[in-house]
Amino acid sequence: MRSPAPWSALAGPPAVREPSPTFSPEAVRALFPALTETADVYLDSASTTQKPRPVIEAIHRYHSSRTANAGRGTYPWSTGLTRALDTVRERTAEFLGATPQEVVFTAGATAGLNAVALAWGLATLEDGDEILYSPRDHASNVYPWIQLRATLARFGRRLHLVPYRITPLGEADIDDIAAKLTPRTRLITVSHLHHVFGARTTLEELRGRLDPRVLLCFDCSQSAGHLPVDVTDLGADFAVLSAHKMFGAPGTGVLYCHRRVHDRLGTFLPGGNSGVAPSGSGLLPTRMPEQLEGGTHNIPGILALGAALEFLGEIGPDAVAAHNLDLTQRLIAGLRPLPGLEFLPGPAHAPCETGYGIVSFTLDGISATDLGFVLAEYGFLVRTGAHCVPDPTSTPKETAAEDDSVRVSTHLYNTADEIDRFVRCLATIATEVR
């Protein structure tokens, strides 16, 4: 699964501040076939990342050589794949600072969050319990809790969803969360790195202040692959990853479940791994992580995740974070003087240099959608719209989503020159629309 050339061969000469990673983005870029075949500038990595050659080869290898099911046979093709998936699980655990038994393979981050709602929420929540959440998070970290509330209501259990605010910096408002904690709070769910604002939240200010019964759930879809993620440092009970946002394939994700919650989980996706109790009263609990992994694994997707983790490991998450910090600050500095441009909450409003590769803004005189079309005509591919923030009609008015905006999101294959060209293009558009 390794890259065609050792990373030492890809390293460039020592760079000054612009940019300052320990690798050459131009050399890394050569490992991404889609980027070598186009002159377009891809600035939508928060939606999905481009795929490096080792990931593509891992998927192709599974489908073209000894395709079999894992954990279902005793012949070498099957047992070899079983060992390969175990290796990816171990690598994922190391990536997160977890143990293999705490790593569950899912169909994506959305599936992981729904697994928490169904496997944990249905099994443990009682009438009157509360979950603290942000209505301005990704819909996948809002709608599962709304659906859980509706499901529990059918059985006579009231679940209260308590919204908390976001600061002007785009982070979860810790003071507001602390003020809304009650003896009935059972879960706080948060975006580790916000998908629109590009701001990081760790909840570290709450450590030592929470009742042990309050669990923490982190959506790490945007942070994984962009900066180091250590679930132990976060104090996470649950955390989800999205493989396709960290160079892997769509339809694959990871759910981290701290071992202290294992005995509170019901079976999720009962199937071939399940067993019926002798009394016929229900399903027997199985060991983790199999208890939450029903059906056939997405084998090529998990193998691709392993290749993506190895790829990231060769570069190092610190180097990726440093590169995205440089690009974020360069982008903000270039956009700040433009007439009519307004930044959404995020690193542009921070008192110090911060940034993880996501910047969102609006421009007077043109809608975000129209601006996206114009930028695409010039070869700059960005995301526009509400960015999967929930419909404001389903959330409290005081915490409703922002209007449509343009989101620029970078990764290790983007260069300082691309950012400069994007800024020049947007400067021309800003002048024309005024």
Supply the residues annotated as catalytic.
388
CA distance 294 to 133: 28
N- to C-terminal Cα separation, the chain: 51
Q: Rounding to the nearest 10 degrees, give the CA dihedral for residues 229, 193, 394, 397.
A: 140
Could you say which DSSP state residue 180 is in? H
Helix (H, G, I), strand (E, B) or coil at 265: coil
CA distance 67 to 21: 39
Strands 405-409 and 383-385: antiparallel
Asked whether the bond before 228 is cis by omega within 30 degrees of 0, the reply is no
Q: How many residues does the chain have?
A: 434
Q: Where are the beta strands (DSSP E) in 277-357?
A: 283-284, 341-343
- Residue 252 in tokens: 């694959």
**Displacement of CA 379 from its chain's centroid (Å):** 26
Q: Of 1, 130, 40, 33, nearest to 421 (Cα)? A: 40
Cβ–Cβ contacts within 10 Å for residue 369, how many?
12
What is the radius of gyration, based on Cα positions, of the chain?
22
CA distance 216 to 300: 31
CA distance 325 to 357: 7
Q: Where are the beta strands (DSSP E) in 91-249?
A: 103-106, 129-133, 159-163, 185-191, 215-219, 238-242
Task: Report residue 132: phi and psi, to 5°.
Answer: -95, 130
Instruction: List the helix and strand counts (H, then E) for the chain.
Output: 14, 15
Place of tokens 């009650």: 182
What's the one-letter identity of residue 49? Answer: T
Helix (H, G, I), strand (E, B) or coil at 288: coil
- Residue 428 in tokens: 């021309």
Positive or negative torsion for Cα 150, 153, 157, 161: positive
Task: Report residue 341: phi and psi, to 5°.
Answer: -90, 135
